[in-house]
Amino acid sequence: MEDQQIVALYWQRNPEAIGQSRLKYGAYCFSVANQILTSPEDSEECVNDTWLHAWNRMPPHRPDVLRIFLAKITRRVAFNRFKSRSAQKRGGGEITAVLEELEECLAGDTDVEEEVIVKELGECIRQFVRGLPAREGDVFSRRYFFTERIQDIAQAYGLTPNNIMVILSRVRKKLKTHLEKEGYLHESGRPV
């Protein structure tokens, strides 16, 4: 079934929308969640939560690309589960490494709580990534959006893990400079 047909089912409040989503994107969403959680049981629960969130968001939202829409929901649900799990115990996995790597760009003593600022920052980062050369943008997205392992990204590009780490380091430095220029960070690296 085509994505537009699946979205139409959501808009019609037809429960078949969930079945079609599961059939077409279940394995993909599981992969997104499992990259973050590294737990098949937790990942499966996140995927099930994804269908509920999609049901609740359509309507009013009509996604242009259903796959990315579902991936974003799955990622958000998985991050929330990871945070919840980490509050109970210190967690490992790829997400810890990803967050530590991004810390140099976004670290601060206080959390930014205003949702407006967070949305603006998110849009600023999205525009930055869109402006990158294709390979850099893809490597950055695969690492920091989909939390793929450096070894997996390297294999996909036929590069060494060290090459990928160098690319990511350079992009993080560019991001930090971009965030400073846009007024989200002081030159000291602290949030404004």
pLDDT for 143-168, tens place per residue? 988 888 899 999 999 999 999 999 99
User: Is 104 inside any structural domain?
Assistant: yes
* Model pLDDT, residue 44: 95
* Model pLDDT, residue 19: 95
The residue type found at 27 is A
Q: What is the mean pLDDT of residues 66-89?
A: 82
Q: In which band, very low, low, confident or very high, does the pLDDT at 190 lie, cut at 50, 70 and 90?
A: low
Q: What is the mean pLDDT of residues 76-97?
A: 68
* Model pLDDT, residue 125: 85
- Among candidate residues 33, 58, 88, the one where a domain is terminated: 88
The residue type found at 20 is Q
Question: Does residue 7 share a domain with residue 82?
Answer: yes
> What average pLDDT does the chain have?
83
Q: In which band, very low, low, confident or very high, does the pLDDT at 102 lie, cut at 50, 70 and 90?
A: low
Q: What is the pLDDT of residues 107-143, one digit of tens each?
A: 454 443 445 566 677 778 888 999 999 999 999 988 9
User: Helix (H, G, I), strand (E, B), or coil: what is residue 191?
Assistant: strand
Q: How many whole angstroms separate alpha carbon 98 and alpha carbon 48?
A: 25
Residue 132: give its domain's CATH number. Answer: 1.20.140.160
Q: In which band, very low, low, confident or very high, does the pLDDT at 96 lie, cut at 50, 70 and 90?
A: low
Question: Does residue 80 share a domain with residue 136?
Answer: no
DSSP letter for 149, please: -
User: Could you tell me which residues come within 8 angstroms of residue 62 by beta carbon, excluding any fewer than 6 positions away?
Assistant: 7, 11
- Among candidate residues 53, 88, 123, the one where a domain is terminated: 88
User: Is 188 inside any structural domain?
Assistant: no
What is the count of structural domains for the chain? Answer: 2
User: Helix (H, G, I), strand (E, B), or coil: what is residue 185?
Assistant: strand
User: Is 169 inside any structural domain?
Assistant: yes
pTM summary value: 0.59
User: Is 186 inside any structural domain?
Assistant: no
- The 10 Å CB-count burial string (b at 16+, else e) for 114-123 is eeeeeeebee
Domain of 51 in residue numbering reads as 3-88
* Model pLDDT, residue 123: 79
User: Is 113 inside any structural domain?
Assistant: yes
Q: How many whole angstroms separate alpha carbon 185 and alpha carbon 86?
A: 27
